[in-house]
Structure 1
Amino acid sequence: MSVAKVQKIIDDNGVVVFSKSYCPYCSATKSTLRSLDATFECLELDKMEDGGEIQDALQELTKQRTVPNIFINHKHIGGNSDLQKLNTAQLKAVLKEAGAI
């Protein structure tokens, strides 16, 4: 999958989490977003045929190879630790801006 296709997924969704189903950090991210009733697109790369290609494209786009790789309002947030650093009010504000809550 090309960088352009990954960018389209990011552009088409207010919140996107590129994840792996077995990753505890990904689970923590999804749990945090769900606790705020946020709507988000989640792609489980380990369950997708082109997951490795998506991960390669994400690395090219963000310089981050690890998951979760989080985008809110079309901006790269980073990983789970970056998401958790935001206090609830900050996170709610960016999610609202993205139309996710």
Structure 2
Amino acid sequence: MSAAKSKVEGIIADNNVDDGAAIQDALADLTHQRTVPNIFIGQKHIGGNSDIQARKSDLLALVSAGATAKPSKA
């Protein structure tokens, strides 16, 4: 991934925080996906592991595009 020169801003493992169940519930509401991992690149929901595996050939481009995406205003 170093070729993409991307910056990882943060990773939350829902089993390592006190409110992990609440985070997983919120992600399920947002993405309609209950399973983990629940992968976002550049604030865009990509899916889970099987989705990433299916898009392996596009992954570098996805990460590169995500690294340059402007954050949305919440």
Count of aligned positions: 64
Match of 2:42 among 67, 73, 88: 73
Gaps of 5+ in 2: 69-74
Match of 1:46 among 15, 23, 46: 15
Deviation at 1:95, TM superposition (A): 0.6
Match of 1:85 among 43, 54, 61: 54
TM-score (norm 1): 0.57
The 1:70–1:53 alpha-carbon spacing in structure 2 relative to 1, beyond 3 Å, is same
Residues of 1 paired with 2:52 and 2:7: CA distance? 15
SS at match of 1:99: helix
Gaps of 5+ in 1: 1-35
RMSD, matched Cα: 1.6
- Matched with 1:14 is none
User: Which structure has the highest helix share of the two?
Assistant: 1
Which entry has the higher C-alpha Rg, 1 or 2? 2
The one of the two structures with greater contact order (alpha-carbon pairs below 8 A, sep at least 6) is 1
User: Which structure has the highest strand share of the two?
Assistant: 1
Residues of 2 paired with 1:96 and 1:68: CA distance? 20
TM-score (norm 2): 0.76
